[in-house]
């Protein structure tokens, strides 16, 4: 197997007495779509937040593209090519869709201590934004304020913003959350396209989507990895069945 | 040595006064999420009421009690008429609106009592020096401030930590909807808490009145000190306010008392007497800056909401 | 194309024209008072515009902006007192000191958010106030008279009322133009993005506080210029001019006009100071009216004058 793009070793993070991440290790190899599933409260979002630097681990290490990033602040990880989408939509509500994406492009186009020229007139930033919006099917909604976009459109915009930072690794935290059936189907189709270009870590409740998309699946329960493997192996894993069925966390589909 | 004891007591006394002011501020902020700049005006009103009522009644105790009641009523009226409409609004809105109230109160006082200050004379039984340890005398009045303020602090602690109403206050701070769901009149609770804060501010003002002059704007500098205290102590935390208030009171008093002599050992006499007052005023802000760098949430942050 | 002719823009244009023609009106009617009053208004408008840059666009509610008025003023006053009368020295020093102060207190204050930030900036400004009160060589509490206004080698005479007014007005228009360029620049987009959603901006790769701090310093520096102008206008500088109520008044001017609108603070300053002037002609106790008025405006008139005009424009 190739060298992992992301290597997590013995990660621990506790809140009070509760270990939300419990000695967790994980590898993501270049080019794969690696899904992370688990019942509610398994510590999936906590893990993503530690990967992107919104949260610092108590111990353990994270390596990204051969470099240790365990203690780097989030803006520096973004510069290295790590992008995330948020579970709860996290955009700039009083900016247009295009502005949101253009800012992401701007963040990766040299420093922004430029005080004079109008940023909205910088051709290449606008083009990059337009391209990313087109990618997710929002080209015609570019000049709409985020607060006026539908929920589904906001989820797509989250993706466009992440793409505009030209990431090597895309961490998606429940991109399907709150989407209707047709919107979910569109998102799955979109992710199928994107996975050809970029390595993806996908946290998702929608099992149908996960098994349709993933190359590998890691199952978390109470902050620990209980199984990791290809979709078939996971489907037939006894411990996974127990975790999902035995604990009455019947997670079939939240679609 | 004697001087040190006396100045330490002065520092303690000033710190306790600051606590009374800061406690109201931090309670109102912690529970109603409301920033009240006009808190200093209530402090000032307490002092003016006391000076007036003591003169009317010719009795220090009666006048002071009346003043306390008047400040309480004023606080409740203020909350009822204006401030309750600001709960849940932006902090900036609250700052500006209560800034408007400060302007109002300052001019109202000027209109009613005139621009010159008042004085609040002490009754003879409070002016005698008391021997606290053999050979050390301390003014009875300052001693009584320490006693009263400590008693109030203890009472406050018991009320907030041990009684049903205190439980409601703490619960209201963490979950407003739940209190409403329990069928408790949250508006009334807020009004009461605000009134309590006002009374505490008034108490601090009227106790300080015999030591300093009663004058317009007297509540402003001390209000900012109270802000510094609740920032150092952690917003919403009574315990933090208490610790920080004592700390700030000590630094302020001891700095003013000893810094000039201290500086004289390294500077010329003239330079020292210029630098000392500014430096001792700055000490507190310096302390705050250090606390902020080390612990931006304050030393004793209240539970996260 | 969106039409640029609406109530808001018409009023802004009229006000700008009025400010430009004011000296002519003053000369024609012999009304010197109005020129003096508006010189003061224009200077405060510059200070309010600088505050709006961090409050309205940066989301940083500074309650200590009067400190820069004081620092800029004291730089001019102290240098004049020490025999250095040239504005070419005084003014750069005023700006540099303001920038330095902003850098230091900004770096400390920006570790905090929300109401902590309001209180910290307030407390630091009070510290500056006490330092000024301790400057016994320069008058201490009583302040310092400036016997000679800044000289600019014969280029401009600050003692000439009209010339001084136009200098102030040029500074105001220049300041507003600068702020306009800044808010539309890459830098300005980042600062406004951070106001809108800091976490998001960090996640896409911006070191939010670095941009905030630079914005804070720019704002303080512009306000320092207003301070240098103000000291020349009053020929006097004292700690009272940097008391915390002055910071509060600056905030009120910004909010009166409409936070986060380019020209709003200018209108807000004009309205606030004219109101103060008019009220104080009726009664010595003008704050009895101004105070409750402020409360009412906060309660009922969100978005200030610009917000109101914006609603009018949309009909």
Res B180: pLDDT: 64
Rounded CA separation B127/A210 (Å): 82
SS3 content of chain C, % helix, strand, coil (to 5): 75, 0, 20
Looking at residue B122, what DSSP letter applies?
A: P
Quickly state the pLDDT bin for B50 (edges 50, 70, 90): very high
Residue C74 has pLDDT above 90, yes or no: yes
Kind of pairing between the strands at A59-64 and A169-173: unpaired
B174 interface with C at CB cutoff 8 Å: no
Of A243, A175, A253, residue with least CA distance to A39: A243
> Mean pLDDT, to the nearest integer, of C194-216?
95
Asked if B109 reaches chain C (Cβ–Cβ under 8 Å), the answer is no
User: Are residues C193 and A84, on separate chains, in Cβ contact within 8 Å?
Assistant: no
> Which 8-state DSSP code applies to residue A2?
P
Structure tokens at A63: 């390596």
ipTM computed for the complex: 0.89
Domains and CATH numbers, chain A: 1-81+168-255 (3.40.50.300), 90-166 (no CATH)
pLDDT bracket for residue B274 (50, 70, 90): low
Identify the pLDDT of residue A252.
45
Q: Which residues contact A236 (CB under 8 A, 6 or more apart)?
A: none
Q: Would the pLDDT of A249 be above 50? A: no
Q: Touching check for C185 and chain A: CB below 8 Å?
A: yes
Q: What is the mean pLDDT of residues A244-254?
A: 50
The pLDDT value recorded for residue A254 is 40
- Minimal C-alpha gap between B240 and chain C (Å): 15
Please give the backbone phi and psi of residue A35, each rounded to the nearest 5 degrees, phi first.
Answer: -95, 145
pLDDT of residue A250: 45
Residue A140: what pLDDT?
94
The residue-averaged pLDDT of B199-206 equals: 95
What residues of C are in contact with residue A165 (Cβ under 8 Å)? 204-205
Best to test chain A binding among C203, C207, C209, C219 (most A CBs inside 10 Å): C203
pLDDT-wise least confident of B268-277, C125-134, C224-233 = B268-277
- A84 beta partners: A171
User: Which chain A residues touch C188 with a CB distance below 8 Å?
Assistant: 115, 119
Give ∠ CA C207-C208-C209 in degrees, rounded to 5: 100
Domain topology for B2-118+139-294: ABC transporter involved in vitamin B12 uptake, BtuC (1.10.3470)
Residue ranges per domain, chain B? 2-118+139-294
Q: pTM of the prediction?
A: 0.91
pLDDT at A251: 47
Listed residue (C287, C274, C278) closest to C41, CA to CA: C274
């Amino acid at each position: 197997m190739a060298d992992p793009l992301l290597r997590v070793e013995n990660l621990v993070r506790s809140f009070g007495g509760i270990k939300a991440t419990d000695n967790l290790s994980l590898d993501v190899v270049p080019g794969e779509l690696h899904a992370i599933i688990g019942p509610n409260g398994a510590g999936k979002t906590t893990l993503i937040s530690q990967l992107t630097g919104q949260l610092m681990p108590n111990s353990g290490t994270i390596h990204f593209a051969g470099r240790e990033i365990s203690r780097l602040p989030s803006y520096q990880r973004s510069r290295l090519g790590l992008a995330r989408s948020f579970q709860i939509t996290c955009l700039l509500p009083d900016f247009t869709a295009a502005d949101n994406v253009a800012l992401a492009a701007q963040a990766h186009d040299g420093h922004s201590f430029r005080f004079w020229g109008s940023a909205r007139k910088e051709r290449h930033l606008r083009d990059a934004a337009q391209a990313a919006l087109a990618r997710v099917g929002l080209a015609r909604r570019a000049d709409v304020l985020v607060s006026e976009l539908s929920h589904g459109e906001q989820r797509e915009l989250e993706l466009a913003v992440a793409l505009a930072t030209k990431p090597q690794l895309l961490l998606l935290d429940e991109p399907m959350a709150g989407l209707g059936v047709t919107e979910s189907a569109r998102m799955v189709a979109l992710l199928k396209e994107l996975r050809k270009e970029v390595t993806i870590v996908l946290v998702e409740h929608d099992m149908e989507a996960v098994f349709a998309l993933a190359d590998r699946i890691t199952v978390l329960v109470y902050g620990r990895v209980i199984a990791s493997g290809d979709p078939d192996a996971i489907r037939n894993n006894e411990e996974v069945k127990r975790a999902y069925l035995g604990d009455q966390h019947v997670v079939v589909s939240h679609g | 040595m004697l001087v040190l004891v006396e100045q330490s007591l002065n520092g303690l006394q000033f710190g306790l006064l600051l606590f009374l002011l800061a406690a109201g501020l931090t309670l109102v902020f912690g529970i109603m999420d409301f920033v009240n700049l006009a808190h200093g005006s209530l402090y000032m009103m307490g002092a003016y009421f006391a000076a007036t009522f003591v003169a009317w009644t010719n009795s220090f105790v009666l006048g002071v009690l009346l003043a306390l009641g008047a400040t309480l009523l004023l606080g409740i009226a203020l909350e009822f008429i204006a401030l309750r409409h600001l709960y849940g609004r932006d902090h900036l809105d609250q700052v500006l609106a209560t800034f408007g109230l400060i302007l109002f109160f300052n001019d109202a006082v000027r209109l009613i009592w005139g621009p010159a200050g008042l004085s609040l004379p002490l009754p003879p039984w409070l002016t005698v020096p008391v021997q606290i340890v053999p050979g050390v005398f301390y003014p009875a009045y300052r001693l009584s401030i320490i006693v009263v303020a400590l008693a109030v602090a203890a009472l406050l602690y018991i009320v907030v930590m041990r009684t049903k109403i205190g439980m409601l206050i703490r619960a209201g701070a963490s979950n407003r909807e739940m209190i409403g769901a329990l069928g408790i009149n949250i508006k009334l609770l807020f009004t009461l808490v605000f009134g309590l804060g006002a009374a505490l501010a008034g108490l601090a003002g009227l106790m300080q009145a015999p030591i300093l002059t009663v004058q317009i704007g007297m509540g402003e500098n001390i209000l900012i000190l109270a802000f510094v205290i609740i920032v150092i102590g952690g917003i919403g935390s009574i315990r933090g306010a208490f610790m920080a208030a004592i700390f700030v009171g000590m630094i302020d008093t001891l700095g003013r008392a000893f810094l000039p002599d201290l500086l004289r050992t390294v500077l010329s006499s003239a330079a020292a007497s210029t630098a000392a007052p500014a430096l001792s005023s700055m000490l507190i802000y310096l302390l705050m800056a250090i606390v902020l760098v080390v612990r931006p949430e304050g030393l004793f942050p209240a539970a996260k909401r | 194309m969106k039409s640029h002719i609406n109530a808001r823009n018409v009023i802004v244009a009229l006000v700008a024209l009025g400010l430009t023609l004011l000296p002519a009106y003053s000369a024609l009617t012999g009304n010197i008072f109005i020129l003096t009053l508006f010189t003061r208004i224009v200077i405060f408008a510059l200070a309010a515009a600088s505050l709006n840059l961090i409050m309205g666009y940066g989301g940083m509610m500074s309650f200590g902006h009067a400190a820069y008025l004081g620092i800029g003023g004291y730089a001019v006053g102290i240098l004049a007192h020490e025999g250095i009368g040239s504005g070419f020295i005084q003014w750069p020093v005023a700006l540099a000191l303001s920038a330095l102060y902003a850098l230091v207190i900004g770096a400390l204050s920006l570790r905090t958010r929300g109401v902590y930030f309001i209180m910290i900036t307030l407390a630091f400004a009070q510290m500056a106030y006490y330092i000024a009160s301790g400057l016994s060589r320069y008058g201490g509490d009583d302040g310092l008279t400036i016997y000679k206004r800044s000289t600019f080698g014969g280029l401009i005479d600050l003692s000439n009322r009209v010339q001084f007014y136009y200098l102030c007005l040029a500074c105001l228009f220049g300041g507003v133009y600068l702020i306009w360029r800044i808010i539309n620049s890459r830098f300005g987009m980042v600062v406004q993005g951070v106001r809108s959603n800091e976490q998001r901006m960090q996640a896409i790769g911006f070191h939010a506080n670095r941009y905030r701090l630079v914005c804070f310093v720019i704002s303080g520096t512009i306000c320092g210029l207003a301070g240098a102008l103000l000291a020349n206008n009053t020929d006097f500088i004292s700690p009272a001019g940097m008391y915390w109520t002055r910071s509060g008044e600056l905030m009120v001017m910004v909010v009166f006009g409409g936070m986060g609108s380019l020209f709003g603070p200018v209108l807000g300053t004009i309205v606030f100071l004219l109101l103060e002037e008019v009220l104080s002609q009726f009664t010595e106790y003008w704050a009895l009216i101004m105070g409750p008025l402020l409360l009412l405006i906060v309660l009922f008139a969100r978005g200030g004058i610009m917000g109101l005009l914006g609603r009018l424009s949309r009909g």
